Structure 1
Amino acid sequence: MEMFIDGAWHASDAPRMPVTNPRDGSQVDTVPDGAAGDAEAAVASAARAFEAWRQVPMTERVRIQKACAQAMRDSAAEVGQLLHLELGRPLEACIGEIARSADLLDIYAEEGLRLQATMPLGSAPGEKTIVTRDPVGVVVAITPFNYPITLLMFKLGAALIAGCTVVAKPHEDTPLSTLKLAEVFHAAGLPAGCFNVVTGTGRGIGASLVAHPVPRKVAFTGGTAAGKAIAASAVGTMKRLTLELGGQSAAIVCADADIGKAVAAIARHGFANTGQFCYRVNRVYVERPVYDEFLNSMVAAVGKYTLAAPGGEGDLGPLVNDRIRANSETQVADARAKGARVLCGGARPSGAAFAGGSYYEPTLIADATHDMLILTEETFGPVVGICPVDSAAEALRHANASRYGLAGFVFTRDLARGLTLCEGLEAGSVWLNDIQRSSHHVPFGGMKESGLGREKGRYGVEAYLEYKTMYLSYEVPA
């Protein structure tokens, strides 16, 4: 596939990069490994489109965005198939991602209708003050591989309804679904240049986009180190930033918790998408009276998960590439060397069916300690560390003793204790007694080194708007 710029497929002179299927290592397609010239073409297209798009009445922007959302649903099978091939996740889950992302587009559209300017009272005769909102401008949206469409919609849906235009750079492992979606949106009526897609590496075309003087905002989801580099570069042109970065999210299981509910939620959330998402349960602190019961129940739950071999079905797909898989292997080896028990998993699956893919068994590590990587660094794989504690207060101290602050989870039947722990967790989102998907209507983002700003709902739209104050003077009729 080629890049998608100014409403059309854009041939690039850049070298080609392969896009491979992580289930078997086969090549799915190739895309350009773009450079500064491709970035310039995309930004110029977005800048031209911005001058017209910002003037489009909100009701018309809403109509177009809702048409794009419906087009996503209509093409969910086609786009989902591309996502399945490039990411390796089971097909049904890939199609589900497309449909759920369309819902967020609709929600952002409805939030656009609720935006208002204000006219504060108290001005002198012949004077009025209006506080209004202007779109930021051209936006660079840089997205990761794990949920490429959902995390793009976090940014694109908010930016478009605010009146901005977008240059998107998907991760080099998963560009195909984003490229296809740009074509789908253009066919659904989104004007040329409002949604451009370039391909390449973060250090290549990504860096060119961030440093370019025209874009006024960068919205990025990815690793903390990359986010810091983007922030440092963006300072040069004072770009606005939304950064959703890494996580090392902790769950606290109190002695009075419903262990069955806690295990079901933690197992489901810790291993969804083969552990490849930022706010998954990475580590669990369990009070000692229920520690053994929790471990036994977790082993039983996780032991039921199956791996989806090439051409087959299963609960978990592969990791997106061998580099991501190596992180899980490193953390498991580190835990073993320091005395932890590997209760299940802890290796690549055997058998010829898995030989060509980036698979890793779902893994539980018991008796984890804070000199181990599993309790301190993001895993981004199907490995969960479990640590016994003597009290909920000790668990809270451990949970907060991290440079990350994206999500936290608490399980207890005592509502007062639960609310106290939730309030005490230094995290942008906290769940009590269950772990649902993050809602499209409320803010999502992290504290500390887990990021800057919030996405979703009205909070996400506001991140793409600038306040403007206008002072009006006029002659008062006699």
Structure 2
Amino acid sequence: MENYINGKWVKPHSAQYADVLNPSTGAVIERFACSNPEDVNAALESAKMAFKSWKKTPVAHRAKLQHQAAQLMRKHADELARTIANELGRPLAGCLTEISRSADLFDFYSEEGLRLKGEVPLHNLEGEKALIVREPVGVVVAITPFNYPITLLTMKLGAALMAGCTVVSKPSEDTPLSTLKLAEIFTEAGYPEGVFNVITGYGYDIGNALIEHSITAKIAFTGGTDTGLRIGALAAAHNKRVTLELGGQSPAIVCADANLAVAVPAIVRHAFANSGQFCYRVNRLYVHESIYADFLGQMVALTEKLTVGHPFSGCDMGPMVNQKIYQNSENQVQDALHKGALLKTGGHRMKGELYDKGWFFPPTILADTNHSMQIMTQETFGPVVGVMPFQTNEQAVAWANDSDFGLAAYVFSEQLGTGLRMAESLEAGSVWINNIHRSYHDVPFGGVKQSGIGREKGHYGIEAYTELKTIYLNY
């Protein structure tokens, strides 16, 4: 597939293409354009030209177009979901859910954008007013990862377009096809040419060109912390605005009084969804020593009921997206076992005719872990969980906070006061108490420490794509 610039398919200046591989079979399913800085310039120039009129478009009309795009996403949901399933390997049911929730988020942003307001402070000065207004920042570069290719773009795209910005999207080279199909849908919905552009490729040259270009006003990035730090430093050198949603190493604390009938299914479901390939999954567990053995037994039993297979087989888990992501899980398991952890289930590459051509790793539980092990200190981005016992709640919180990351955390306690006190003490952008579910559309999502800068979703997400301007009016 080619780049999508100014509402049209455009061949890359390099005339080069790369393969999109099916992670379940290793087969080539499509090709994508290998862009270079000339393609970056073309996309940004298109977005710049479109911005001149888009920023003046009435917000009600922007909302109408975005609602239309959401409806078309639902209409094309099966096609989009199958595209994601093929390029990512996630089970089809999860891909359909991603499209549904993304369309819902577009609808939410459409309505929330209508509620953005300025201010007129009551200075009570004769013949003078101060007007505080919001204006779109300009052309936004959205760089997104492979794991939720539509949802993570929606968080940026829906907010930016409602604020009056135009967008150049750069999807992951592992999953570019679904983003390109989304661009077609936005054109079908009636968006003007150049408002939403997509270029594909890989390498620092295209990333640097997107960030450093004089047209780029803001970079919105979701991905690994190391890449985020590099983007942040490069953006700061050019005084660009950023929203960075970076890595996580999320802890869950299971207190002595926790309801295991609630805690165990919630943790298993969240730890192994999408084969563990998302940033705010449960990565490490701290379980009170009095219930440690019981918890482990229940967790292992439920985990071993999960099925792993190809995305159209009705399974619970698919493959890892590529060898690099797969290898991280295998390396962390070996590191933990070498340092004394106990393997309770999983831990070895799945073999057999069904699995040999893909990157299949089973749901894995490591017990008796500690903070000398990578599984407890580094992001795994795979279906591996480390579990260790604790004696006091204060000890558990201290261990949970002993991390460079701070995206999400989880607490299970039947005592509401205990849960709230621990939530207040945990260093994370979001904390769930007594259940784990997807983040809501109307509340902010993002991390602290090395897990990011800024927030997405809610009115907070749209405001992040605006600049405040003060107008002093004398009359």
Give me the TM-score of the superposition, normalised by structure 1: 0.98
Work out the CA distance in 2 between the residues paired with 1:77 and 1:441. Answer: 26
Paired residue type of 2:3 = M
For the pair 1:385 / 2:386, whether they are aligned, the reply is: yes
1:363 alignment partner in structure 2: 364
Structure 2 contact 369–386 (Cα < 8 Å) conserved: yes
For the pair 1:314 / 2:315, whether they are aligned, the reply is: yes
After superposition, the C-alpha distances for 1:48-74 in whole angstroms (9 at most, x for unaligned) are 000000000111111111111111111
State the shift of 1:252 in Å: 0.2
2:250 alignment partner in structure 1: 249
1:352 alignment partner in structure 2: 353
1:333 alignment partner in structure 2: 334
1:425 alignment partner in structure 2: 426
Deviation >6 Å, runs of 4+ = none
State the shift of 1:353 in Å: 1.2
Paired residue type of 1:184 = I
Structure 1 contact 251–285 (Cα < 8 Å) conserved: yes
Structure 1 contact 24–310 (Cα < 8 Å) conserved: no
State the shift of 1:313 in Å: 2.9
Paired residue type of 2:2 = E
Work out the CA distance in 2 between the residues paired with 1:117 and 1:261. Answer: 44
Paired residue type of 2:13 = D
- Indicate the SS of the match to 1:417: helix
Work out the CA distance in 2 between the residues paired with 1:392 and 1:371. Answer: 21
Work out the CA distance in 1 between the residues paired with 2:218 and 2:13. Answer: 27
- Indicate the SS of the match to 2:230: helix
After TM superposition, list the pairs within 5 Å mapping 1:132-281 onto structure 2: 132-281=133-282
Work out the CA distance in 2 between the residues paired with 1:310 and 1:436. Answer: 22
2:295 alignment partner in structure 1: 294
Structure 1 contact 310–353 (Cα < 8 Å) conserved: no
State the shift of 1:116 in Å: 1.3
2:5 alignment partner in structure 1: 5
Structure 1 contact 84–90 (Cα < 8 Å) conserved: yes
Work out the CA distance in 2 between the residues paired with 1:267 and 1:391. Answer: 24
After superposition, the C-alpha distances for 1:386-410 in whole angstroms (9 at most, x for unaligned) are 0111111111000001000000000
Work out the CA distance in 1 between the residues paired with 2:412 and 2:94. Answer: 27
- Indicate the SS of the match to 1:210: helix
State the shift of 1:357 in Å: 0.2
Work out the CA distance in 1 between the residues paired with 2:93 and 2:377. Answer: 33
- Indicate the SS of the match to 1:155: helix
2:472 alignment partner in structure 1: 471
- Indicate the SS of the match to 2:135: strand
1:37 alignment partner in structure 2: 38
Paired residue type of 1:266 = I
After TM superposition, list the pairs within 5 Å mapping 1:418-457 onto structure 2: 418-457=419-458
Paired residue type of 2:330 = E
Work out the CA distance in 2 between the residues paired with 1:222 and 1:394. Answer: 30
For the pair 1:408 / 2:409, whether they are aligned, the reply is: yes
Work out the CA distance in 1 between the residues paired with 2:262 and 2:46. Answer: 51
After superposition, the C-alpha distances for 1:275-300 in whole angstroms (9 at most, x for unaligned) are 00000000000010000000000001
State the shift of 1:268 in Å: 0.3
Structure 2 contact 89–310 (Cα < 8 Å) conserved: no
Work out the CA distance in 1 between the residues paired with 2:237 and 2:339. Answer: 44
- Indicate the SS of the match to 1:354: coil
After superposition, the C-alpha distances for 1:198-257 in whole angstroms (9 at most, x for unaligned) are 001151312210111111100000000000000111112211110000000000000111
Work out the CA distance in 2 between the residues paired with 1:233 and 1:358. Answer: 34
Among the aligned pairs, what percent are the same residue? 54
Structure 1 contact 155–455 (Cα < 8 Å) conserved: yes
Work out the CA distance in 1 between the residues paired with 2:204 and 2:385. Answer: 31
Work out the CA distance in 2 between the residues paired with 1:184 and 1:262. Answer: 40
The range that moved more, 91-100 or 354-363, is: 91-100
Structure 2 contact 304–345 (Cα < 8 Å) conserved: yes
Work out the CA distance in 2 between the residues paired with 1:424 and 1:403. Answer: 15
After superposition, the C-alpha distances for 1:348-400 in whole angstroms (9 at most, x for unaligned) are 11211100001101100000011000000000000000011111111100000
State the shift of 1:124 in Å: 2.0
Paired residue type of 1:365 = L
State the shift of 1:13 in Å: 3.0
Give me the TM-score of the superposition, normalised by structure 2: 0.99
What are structure 1's unaligned runs of at least 5 residues?
none
Work out the CA distance in 2 between the residues paired with 1:184 and 1:309. Answer: 27
Work out the CA distance in 1 between the residues paired with 2:138 and 2:257. Answer: 52
Work out the CA distance in 2 between the residues paired with 1:166 and 1:236. Answer: 21
Structure 1 contact 139–165 (Cα < 8 Å) conserved: yes
- Indicate the SS of the match to 1:413: coil
State the shift of 1:312 in Å: 2.8
Paired residue type of 1:145 = F
State the shift of 1:180 in Å: 0.5
The range that moved more, 53-62 or 87-96, is: 87-96
- Indicate the SS of the match to 2:150: helix
- Indicate the SS of the match to 1:352: coil
Structure 1 contact 331–373 (Cα < 8 Å) conserved: yes
Work out the CA distance in 1 between the residues paired with 2:348 and 2:263. Answer: 26
1:398 alignment partner in structure 2: 399
Structure 2 contact 300–344 (Cα < 8 Å) conserved: yes
Structure 2 contact 91–310 (Cα < 8 Å) conserved: no
Structure 2 contact 167–196 (Cα < 8 Å) conserved: yes
2:59 alignment partner in structure 1: 58
